[in-house]
Every structure is written in structure tokens, then in C-alpha cells.
């Protein structure tokens, strides 16, 4: 892909994921310090509107009183609160702010990951793990900024955050879905919903 002033970028020839080599990852302490500066408040209507890009299409497809996991909830969990307000039961997990590995051993009707994918050091492994925790007909909802198709990648503002180390596209979602044997039921801008059918491939 090329280099900017700070890091090189590579593209996978199979799944089209664009990624930063591990040698350029920041330390866990530096990563958490970056997240500590996020000003995400559950009472902020603007932030709720932003998260509603995933919450609304997800809720429309859920049965009442479904069980969910918000993966990578961050320092101010809000999406989980919004879905609880819609009548669903929520668990949260975050390696820095809500470290509870036990919730990753349970199964769920749906799992969400908002503004998380771009931070993952092993995205394939993490998404496989989440997919395995979905019940049959469960939904996996992901929201992340997609690599721009209409302007130079190296000029993209999203690269300025040093904790952003992998970058997705519709082609990456199609590859993942094909690998899982699932179904993409919603794909709009930066949001994708996958459905796990009863005959989906084990991971």
C-alpha cells in the first residue's frame, strides 16, 4: 500500500484487509492513554445518534428480550445502555475498562463491536471468537470507518490515530462472510450485520 510519515501499510491479497505491521503498534499503556481521552458520554445525544447507525438496524431484526454482548465497550459504555433501554439483556467486555473473560465463554443472540475493529491486533482471531459465541440465527454487528474507495488511502484522516492498525472494506466483509458461511443482511456505509445460520461453518 505504501508508507506515511509514521508507518507502513500492507494489504492482504486474500481478504483485502489493510494493516500495520506489529512492530509499529503502540504499547498497551499508550493505547489506554489514547482511549482515556475519548469523551463518550451516554447522555450525549450526538453520540447516541452516532451509535444508532448500528443500534437501529440491529434492533429491528432482534426478537424481544434478546441477549447481547457489546465487545470493546470502551470507557463510557453507551450502546449497551441503548439496547437495554430497548428491552434487551446486555453484557459488556473491554480489555481495558471491563475485563471479564467469563462473558466471552457464554453464547448470545447478538454481539456488537462499534469502533473496535480498527484497533484489533488479530482481527481474524477476534472475529472468529465472537462468531463462535453466537447462537444459531444470531447477529454480529460491526461499525468501523471503511477504507475510502474514492481518494488516496494515505491521505485519510483515520490513519492519524496510532491505535488504528487495521482497515476494512466491503470486500473484507464479503470474504469473512464467505469463510463463515453466514449471511450479510445489512451493509450500509460503515455498518455491517452478519447472520449466523444454523449451517454456518464452525471456526
Whether 201 is covered by a domain: the verdict is no
pLDDT at position 38: 72
Domain enclosing residue 112, as ranges: 2-195
The number of distinct structural domains making up the chain is 1
Whether 62 is covered by a domain: the verdict is yes
pLDDT at position 150: 87
Whether 89 is covered by a domain: the verdict is yes
At residue 23's C-alpha, the angle toward residues 17 and 27, to 5°, is 105
Q: SS3 of 126, please?
A: helix
Whether 179 is covered by a domain: the verdict is yes
pLDDT at position 165: 97
Whether 167 is covered by a domain: the verdict is yes
pLDDT at position 70: 97
Contact status, residue 108 vs residue 67, Cβ threshold 8 Å: yes
Spans in the chain with pLDDT lower than 50: none
Whether 38 is covered by a domain: the verdict is yes
Identify the CA nearest to 185 among candidates 149, 148, 127, 142. Answer: 142
pLDDT at position 174: 97
Grid cell of 189 as nine digits: 456505509
The 10s digit of each residue's pLDDT in 57-105 is: 999 999 999 999 999 988 888 999 999 999 999 999 999 999 999 999 9
pLDDT at position 175: 97
What order of strands is seen across the sheet that includes strand 108-114?
A: 89-93, 67-71, 108-114, 134-143, 191-195, 183-188
| CATH code for position 24 | 3.40.50.150
Whether 82 is covered by a domain: the verdict is yes
Neighbours of 149 (CB within 10 A): 9
- pTM for the predicted model, two decimal places: 0.94
At residue 118's C-alpha, the angle toward residues 165 and 91, to 5°, is 135
Whether 202 is covered by a domain: the verdict is no
The 10s digit of each residue's pLDDT in 26-35 is: 999 999 998 8
d(CA 180, CA 136): 13
Separation in Å, CA 177 to CA 76, 158, 170, 197:
30, 25, 11, 11
Identify the CA nearest to 111 among candidates 130, 98, 126. Answer: 130
d(CA 42, CA 44): 6
pLDDT at position 201: 64
Amino acid at each position: 500500500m505504501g508508507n506515511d510519515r509514521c508507518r507502513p501499510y500492507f494489504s492482504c491479497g486474500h481478504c483485502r484487509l489493510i494493516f500495520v505491521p506489529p512492530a509499529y503498534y503502540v504499547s498497551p499503556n499508550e493505547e489506554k492513554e489514547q482511549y482515556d481521552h475519548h469523551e463518550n458520554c451516554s447522555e450525549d445525544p450526538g453520540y447516541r445518534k452516532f451509535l444508532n447507525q448500528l443500534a437501529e438496524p440491529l434492533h429491528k431484526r432482534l426478537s424481544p428480550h434478546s441477549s447481547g454482548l457489546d465487545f470493546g465497550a470502551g470507557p463510557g459504555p453507551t450502546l449497551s445502555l441503548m439496547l437495554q433501554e430497548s428491552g434487551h439483556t446486555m453484557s459488556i467486555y473491554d480489555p481495558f475498562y471491563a475485563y471479564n473473560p467469563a462473558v466471552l465463554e457464554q453464547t448470545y443472540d447478538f454481539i456488537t463491536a462499534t469502533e473496535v475493529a480498527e484497533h484489533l491486533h488479530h482481527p481474524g482471531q477476534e472475529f472468529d471468537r465472537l462468531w463462535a459465541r453466537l447462537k444459531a440465527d444470531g447477529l454480529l454487528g460491526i461499525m468501523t470507518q471503511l477504507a475510502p474507495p474514492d481518494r488516496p488511502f494515505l491521505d485519510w484522516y483515520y490513519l492519524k490515530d496510532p491505535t488504528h492498525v487495521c482497515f476494512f472494506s466491503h470486500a473484507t466483509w464479503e470474504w469473512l462472510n464467505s469463510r463463515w458461511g453466514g449471511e450479510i443482511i445489512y451493509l450500509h456505509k460503515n455498518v455491517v450485520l452478519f447472520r449466523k445460520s444454523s449451517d454456518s461453518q464452525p471456526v
